Chain A
């Protein structure tokens, strides 16, 4: 048994022990700890930070307050959401279109904020779709998904969407290397020959944030895991952790853990830009979706794009460099000064910290250890600032405070360890409850962290809350880090898997938050701006209902003359111009869903009646004392019947009696 194998066996045995005993060492302390008054935000008082948390397998993003842990909002991103009608209304369906068609459920792992000069600017939040590779942009003014771009030549968009310090680019690195190019029908065994790992650089429009794939890098077939942009002195560079440098294609838990060291990939993206400008890129035919939401038409547009430009760093030698990193690195985090890059080997017993200055020197001196897939490999010692010794088990992710300290999460030993970036000395450790994945400090990935709280996002919640059957909620824990010692102040349940998160001061968003959509600016083609414009129009077998809603009625509220075989489109315009007064719309037997329409907005429900009869519809969002009265009827007659199309609001029973509906 060689030494690395022995290490692995010991590690696995340790892991097994931890799991058998279930509670990691110190978990009882985590259970008992707490200083609740620091997390207390009195009723009516506001939180200091917005905390955007990925929902993991829920495909959504949720927004909490810090330090209270209050849930403010779940933002639908990559999955349909009945609470918002997202993916159900005709207008929002295009947001979930891909080159494979409509994908109603995805996996959202990481959250990233737009930055200016290395600081959070509060404009946009980005998230990645893992399974069907995508990146989404959320508009922080509306807390809604404004844009989704699909990533071609990619599979498992995990290493994403990390951003540069002026939001020049965000990245989408593939987790799964795959066959790329014309012939993708190759034996899986031919992995080493035919599989490639592609990293995409997505540019972000300066004014409106629109995303575009600027270029892709064609790299050896490894698994890209996480990444972080350089900042300050290292601005212009990007760093990616990767594992499976063994290039195994089966039983990776063993076969991808053979080498003592995998890699961090350092990318000189300014250099890549130069090559791109010089025409060194190769255009490739692909198919990917680009979907945008328009707040004026209240509708999404889906288009397919067909071309990307690919750069090959094995030919264009000075774009990419590998740096050895022990062992199966996950996190790859740049400190606020931009000088230090922290690698976190999931299976390593140390944390290596690399120096940007040393990396530059090693490149200048060509202090290499050969090549990997045509990419130079820098000698480990030549790039290394130093190692944090015996920090814990299973380091995952590191964030930073404003005092030169790093905070690393440890999945296996379930703890957060605080250490000094320069001296590499361990300063403090606290248990988490437990199997912490990522952690987050407000601004902890930028040049200006607010070193006030660190939040732990945990995978396992056993014994923490009241049981809820075989599945338990996952949880987050807030620690006060303003003093020398970390102090648990609150834990709170989360939506889905709280995979990753970011926080920013409330002041960056609060006063810019949209309250209503102005009805005069509503450019939806089927909007009814005022009850006068409400009507029902037949176009062949399509019935368009231009409907309005306001506390507390719909117009029209009686509709007749719909026949079997018709498709009915309820275009509901919410006439309210008051904050927080959405109206809902639901009709009996709708196979699709319901609508939720914001003030000033128009949304459409498609309904195909399948039976003859009278069908009630009503408002689903409690809106006033007369909300229960907010209802109406639609009559469906057999195909071929001669009931004329008619609609009304408030006509007296006597009026209707004068013109009895014929059959």
Chain B
């Protein structure tokens, strides 16, 4: 029960941050914030994030091979900081992450960390919570896709 409460307040905080992004709250953090308003920059889609992935083809059912490959990447490059539960370690737990973000957003985030952390309202709100900039772990495009599939598996997709 206690855990649930923490999760709720956590989500609430993210949500709150989201709402007041960039207009005043984050103006002091990075000089690039001026380009990051949700609606100020029409070319930026906060659902998709900044990066090369614009349209990821995701089948309704799980791709087991990809998910297996994703687990391997997770073990080497992600597991130190992200639990598979909803518990925050260095970074947020992965439980439910595929329901919170579009695949494009996640894959852009893990391959284009620096720009996302400087620009994307949701990513910036996360940084305010975690206070450690996610390391760019130099994932390849395939790595990113595999990790995403593994995240889906973790979220119960069969």
- A contact set with B: CB distance below 8 Å: 516, 518-520, 529-532, 548, 550-553, 555, 575-579, 581, 624-626, 650
Contact = CB atoms under 8 A, between A and B. Distances in A.
Given A530-B75, A532-B75, A555 B135 contact: no
A550 B76 contact: no
A579 B114 CA distance: 12
B85 interface: no
Contact of A550 (B133, B135, B136, B139): B135
- The dominant DSSP class at the B interface is loop
B79 A576 contact: no
A578 B135 CA distance: 6
18 contacts: A529-B75, A529-B76, A530-B76, A531-B75, A531-B79, A531-B80, A532-B75, A532-B79, A550-B90, A553-B80, A553-B90, A576-B137, A577-B77, A577-B136, A579-B136, A581-B135, A625-B131, A626-B90
Contacts, number: 58
Contact of B132 (A519, A575, A579, A625): A625
B138 A575 contact: no
B81 interface: yes
Contacts of B81: 550-551
B133 A575 contact: no
A359 to B, nearest CB: 55
A532 B90 CA distance: 16
Contacts of A551: 81, 90, 132-133, 135
B74 to A, nearest CB: 8
A650 B136 CA distance: 24
The residue in B75, B131, B137 that gathers the most chain A C-beta atoms within 10 A of its C-beta is: B137
Contact of B77 (A519, A553, A581): A519
Contact of B135 (A531, A532, A577, A650): A577
A575 B90 contact: no
B136 A530 contact: no
B132 A626 contact: yes
Given A552-B90, A577-B138, A519 B131 contact: no
B138 A555 contact: no
A531 B82 CA distance: 11
A626 B136 contact: no
Interface in B63-111: 75-77, 79-81, 89-90
Contact of B80 (A530, A581, A626): A530
A650 B139 CA distance: 26
A576 B76 contact: no
Contacts of A555: 80
Contacts of A578: 135-138
Contacts of B80: 530-531, 548, 550, 553, 555, 575
